[in-house]
Amino acid sequence: MNVNIKIYPAKNGDCFLISFGKTDEEKEYLLIDCGYVDTFQKYLKNDLIKIGNGGGILEKLILTHIDADHIQGAIRFLKDNNAERFITIKEVWHNTYRHLSEQKEGEIDTKQERILQQIIRRGYPQNESKQGEQGISAEQGTTVGALLLQGKYSWNSDFNNQAVCIEKSRVALSLDASIYLLSPDKQKLEKLKNLWSDELKRYDANFNSGNSELYDDAFEMLLSWEKEKVKVAPKQISAKAETLEELLKTPFDEDNTATNGSSIAFVLQVQNKKMLFLADAHPGLIVQSLKTYQNEGTIIFDLIKVAHHGSFGNISRDLLNKIDSERYLISTNGQRNNHPDKETIAHIITRKADFHRKLYFNYITVNSKYFDRKDWLEEYNYSIHYLDQQPYTLIL
């Protein structure tokens, strides 16, 4: 059975449409993140309309974490689908305020409501918009959570309407396919909750009381800005390192952002094919979870979607000792934080293997071009493949 992975040009974001099935009538579809608004408008919407017109449905819409480059396209998708119903979404995975709070809804005082409304009106960061480029940012004041409630979608029902969490590690899709969760765990979700609570204290607002829908919306907006704070001053990891030896000696410094740590990362298994989707997850937790998935030896995947657009903070020697593949996918245009980091690529290509590695990039970047050297390609037995900034279907 073939597995088709459609990779969309999502700027510095992620958007993947996966399909598999013995026949067209039995084909199952999964959508992982939605990139920006123009990712949806230019490419994704037409594909989803075709699937819907053909009688297909989305088995899962998986929004890995709250970050503009993963969910802004989802806001436009849900808004349009609520109005037009061009495709049925069987289940949505998306963690927000209601999945972190154990408190029941209660009354909210006028002051608290005013503060939350102020946060919501602030909307998403607009940094991605460029002069003359339209449709990148989502509508301000609109959130995934509000649209899911409006559209009455099944939301985290695989987890009893609680947070998507590795406490339930395996979710069956069909007789031939399943998802094995690797992230987040309770500790990562608790860190996200504490970040939210601390941020609200600065506004003199409470965390555990009030209308959860209002809190869902404020939560989504506030955390998107928290991620922006981290991106304002990116680390210049590769500023001086130029040779492979220097790149390999760069000290590893694991990503510690709460939003990335809350990423939904997983193994998708379809018959005997295994694909690793790492979102922006933290490598320490991924290694722990993979040892539970398969304790002994290195796990060879049919595809690895590299975490956090190739950021060196989301890969580690322990992780690379545990995983390998003939196919690595890095999704980014390199315009934020200069991803992918050279260190990440250097560590991937220099490991010994009995097979030829293919590195797939949906955009040409400065750092991808850096490794497009004939001597290195031959010595380390890898090749670089560009997807021409167009949707590309990888068939496994």
Q: What value does the mean pLDDT take over residues 10-20?
A: 95
**Helix, coil or strand: residue 3:** strand
* 107-112: Cβ within 8 A, 24+ apart: 107/209, 107/210, 108/209, 108/210, 108/211, 108/214, 111/204, 112/205, 112/206, 112/209, 112/210
Query: 7: Cβ–Cβ under 8 A, 6 or more apart, which residues?
Result: 15, 16, 329, 331, 360, 362, 387, 391, 392, 393, 394
Q: What is the spatial distance between Cα 53 and Cα 44, in angstroms, rounded to a whole number?
A: 14
Contact 89, 77 (CB under 8 A): no
Residue 106 confidence (pLDDT): 60
Mean of pLDDT values over 147-151: 94
Is there a cis peptide before residue 184, judged by omega within 30 degrees of 0? yes
- pLDDT at residue 376 above 70? yes
Domain 3-124+143-387, second-level architecture: 4-Layer Sandwich (3.60)
Structure tokens at 384: 């670089």
Task: Calculate ∠ Cα 37-39-45, nearest 5°.
Answer: 90
Through-space distance between the first and last CA atoms of the chain, rounded to whole angstroms: 9
- CA atoms 264, 270, 276, 282: torsion sign: positive
Q: What rounded mean pLDDT belongs to the chain?
A: 87
Query: Which pLDDT value is given to residue 129?
Result: 41
Question: At residue 337, what are phi and psi to the nearest 5 degrees?
Answer: 65, 15
The rounded percent of the chain whose pLDDT value lies above 70 is 87
Region class of 352: left (phi > 0), else alpha (psi between -120 and 50), else beta: beta
Residues 49-87 have pLDDT tens digits of: 999 999 999 999 999 998 878 888 999 999 999 999 999
Mean pLDDT score, 34-56: 95
With a CB cutoff of 8 Å and minimum separation 6, the contacts of 34 are 10, 15, 40, 44, 63, 70, 71, 72, 73, 74, 76, 77
Helices and strands (DSSP H and E) totals, the chain: 14, 17
The residue written with tokens 């060196």 in the block is 312
pLDDT per position as a tens digit, 153-200 = 999 999 999 999 999 999 999 989 999 999 999 999 999 988 888 877
What is the C-alpha to C-alpha distance for residues 180 and 301, in angstroms, rounded to an integer? 13
pLDDT value for 332: 94
- Would you say residue 309 has pLDDT above 80? yes
Phi and psi (nearest 5°) for 308?
Answer: 50, 45
What's the rounded mean pLDDT across residues 383-395? 90
% of the chain residues with pLDDT over 90: 67
Element (H, E) at 343: helix 342-349
The predicted pLDDT at position 128 comes to 45
What is the pTM (predicted TM-score) of this model? Answer: 0.91
* Whether the Cβ atoms of residue 268 and residue 18 lie closer than 8 Å to each other: yes
Q: From CA 248, how far away is CA 254, in angstroms rounded?
A: 15
The pLDDT of 350-372, averaged and rounded, is 95
Q: What is the DSSP string of 211-280?
A: -HHHHHHHHHHHHHHHHHHHHHS---TTSS--SHHHHHHSPP-----HHHHT--EEEEEETTEEEEE-TT
pLDDT category of residue 141 using cuts at 50, 70 and 90:
low
At residue 93's C-alpha, the angle toward residues 88 and 96, to 5°, is: 125
What six digits make up the tokens of 182? 């690797």
For every residue of 89-130, DSSP letters joined together read: E--EE---GGGT--SPP----HHHHHHHHHHHHH-S--TT--
Reported as a single tens digit per residue, the pLDDT across 191-211 is 998 888 887 777 777 665 555
Q: What is the pLDDT of residues 209-257, one digit of tens each?
A: 555 787 788 888 877 776 555 544 445 555 555 789 999 999 999 999 9
On the question of pLDDT at 134 being above 60, the answer is no
CA distance linking residue 280 with residue 313, whole number of Å? 10
Average pLDDT on 311-330 reads: 96
Mean pLDDT, rounded, for 336-364: 93
